[in-house]
């Protein structure tokens, strides 16, 4: 006897119950449906495109909402599992957009449409406030904790903008202060996007070119799952363990220099 309860839930009811803005487009990128949440949220956006109601977006091609339709079409056609980005709508509203191809059958490359999710929809003023807060969180003091060694404790969320700012700031400090080791603590990072893995890898590669070693510390199990694809970057569970590693290396280097000096 099965323990499962019989259910009769339509796809429409399921999508309407999700608390995110969901739109469906066909293979020609024409919007064919949106859930109740999207209708409510996009009501304030519709006038920016000369529409009186959010429902009027149904039947329109997604080209109508893009400055570069050809670029967007090319990107959509190349989608594999999906695409996520931060976008500006009519230069007034910011949102995270997730586009996922809809396949009629599992294990097939055929696409019968696209599901578009708009999340974290905020006004331009709110978006600027969010960015200002992120920059403020990133501007933590660079701590000189040991000979030719600096530490940076990161706090808050981490995205591509913060990652680019981080690389620039660390490289400038290392080249101007003759730094040999950078101890980057991720224990205070709450959430990262997938692209942050590339940022850490880029930081490591850039530092390596100028003879500086990057060391990651304070990695939680949840964070480890996100940055598991980073290569050749030494990691430690705690800052104390990372610092002991640096002191050992510098101690060995000093003894080597002493041996050479006695020749």
pLDDT on residue 16: 87
pLDDT at 1: 46
Q: Domain spanning 11-123 has what CATH number?
A: 3.30.450.20
Query: CATH 3.30.750.24 residue ranges in the chain?
Result: 139-261
Helix locations, the chain, DSSP H: 11-17, 36-41, 69-77, 124-138, 160-177, 196-209, 221-226, 239-261
**Of 65, 73, 72, 6, nearest to 34 (Cα)?**
65
Neighbours of 133 (CB within 10 A): 12
Identify the pLDDT of residue 189: 76
Angle between helix 160-177 and 124-138 (nearest 10):
30
Spell out, as residue ranges, where the chain has pLDDT lower than 70. Answer: 1-8, 79-80, 123-140, 157-159, 190-195, 253-263
Per-residue pLDDT reduced to its tens digit, 220-236: 777 777 777 777 889 88
Q: What is the rounded distance in angstroms from the CA atom of residue 66 to the CA atom of residue 88?
A: 10
**Could you give the residue range(s) of every CATH 3.30.450.20 domain in the chain?**
11-123
Q: Are strands 149-158 and 143-146 parallel, antiparallel or unpaired?
A: antiparallel
pTM above 0.85, yes or no: no
What confidence score (pLDDT) does residue 261 get?
A: 47
Q: Which CATH class is domain 139-261?
A: alpha beta
For residues 15 and 35, the answer to whether their CB atoms sit within 8 Å is yes
Q: Which two tokens stand for residue 67?
A: 């400055």
Instruction: List, for residues 111-137, the tens digit of each pLDDT value.
Output: 889 999 998 777 655 656 666 666 665
């Amino acid at each position: 006897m099965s323990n499962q309860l019989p259910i009769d839930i339509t796809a429409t009811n399921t999508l309407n119950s999700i608390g995110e803005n969901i739109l469906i487009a066909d293979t020609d990128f024409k919007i064919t449906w949106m859930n109740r949440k999207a209708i409510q949220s996009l009501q304030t956006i519709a006038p920016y495109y000369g529409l009186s109601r959010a429902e009027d977006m149904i039947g329109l091609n997604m080209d109508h909402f893009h400055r570069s339709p050809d670029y967007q079409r090319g990107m959509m056609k190349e989608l594999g599992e999906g695409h996520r980005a931060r976008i500006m709508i009519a230069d007034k509203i910011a949102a995270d957009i997730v586009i996922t191809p809809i396949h009629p059958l599992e294990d097939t490359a055929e696409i019968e449409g696209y599901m578009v999710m708009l999340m974290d929809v905020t006004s331009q003023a709110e978006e600027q406030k969010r960015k200002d807060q992120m920059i403020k969180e990133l501007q933590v003091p660079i701590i000189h904790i040991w000979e030719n060694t600096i530490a940076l404790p990161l706090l808050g969320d981490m995205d591509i903008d913060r990652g680019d700012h981080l690389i620039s700031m660390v490289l400038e400090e290392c080249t101007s202060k003759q730094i040999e080791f950078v101890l980057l603590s991720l224990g205070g990072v709450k959430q990262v996007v997938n692209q942050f893995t590339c940022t850490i890898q880029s930081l490591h590669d850039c530092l390596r070119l100028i003879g500086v070693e990057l060391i990651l510390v304070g990695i939680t199990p949840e964070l480890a799952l996100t940055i598991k694809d980073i290569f050749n970057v030494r990691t430690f569970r705690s800052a104390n363990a990372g610092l002991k590693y640096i002191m050992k290396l510098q101690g060995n280097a000093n003894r080597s220099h002493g041996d050479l000096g006695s020749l």
